[in-house]
Amino acid sequence: MTEEDKKTTENEEKKEFLQEEHETQSELDAALARADEYLDCLQRERASFANYRRRIDQENAAMADQLLGEHIKIFLPVIDDLERALDHAPTDPDCASWIAGIDLIRKKLLKTMEGLGVTVIALEPGDLFDPFNQEALTHEENPRFIDGQIIEVVRAGYQVNDRIIRPAQVRVAK
């Protein structure tokens, strides 16, 4: 083989090598692009699943609060009756232990409800009426209160976290 044939062969081998290197680089670039695309899809799916899980957790918590509220509602008239009994307790000294017992039962029931996240909506005469968590039974003229102030809380309201179970019933000044 002559020197010129060797150079031609070497040039052809170099061309083939460069061609193979170019093809390999193209395949590598395509594989890297697919890997980036797959990674992007995976990250989107992970974020989507995290959002789904968060939404389901929030819905479950809201459902639990709603169900708790529905179950607690049946006990609210009992608390009302206990409070009425205490408001109209006999003045006879012999009934003092009976009155104390009724009060302990009421406190225990309220404490149990507080442990579940149920709280009394705190209202005082003179607070402003809020139609979102209060129900106005009457609008009355009253010289001691200005328009929109609560005159009296007739029946206590209750809530679970920030969700109203039962609105407070109030008398409102006009």
Q: Residues 6 or more apart from 146 whose CB is under 8 A from it? A: 173
For residue 53, give Cα distances in angstroms to 50, 62, 66: 5, 14, 20
Residue 109, burial from CB neighbour count under 10 angstroms (0-12, 13-18, 19+): middle
Segment 85-112 shows an average pLDDT of 92
Per-residue pLDDT at 34 exceeds 80? yes
What per-residue confidence (pLDDT) applies to 63? Answer: 93
Higher pLDDT pick, 162 / 147: 147
What per-residue confidence (pLDDT) applies to 32? Answer: 94
Per-residue pLDDT at 136 exceeds 90? yes
For the chain, the average pLDDT equals: 91
What per-residue confidence (pLDDT) applies to 102? Answer: 93
Contact 169, 154 (CB under 8 A): yes
Segment 122-137 shows an average pLDDT of 92
Per-residue pLDDT at 82 exceeds 80? yes
Segment 28-54 shows an average pLDDT of 95
Segment 147-171 shows an average pLDDT of 93
**Which tokens belong to 150?**
């609560």
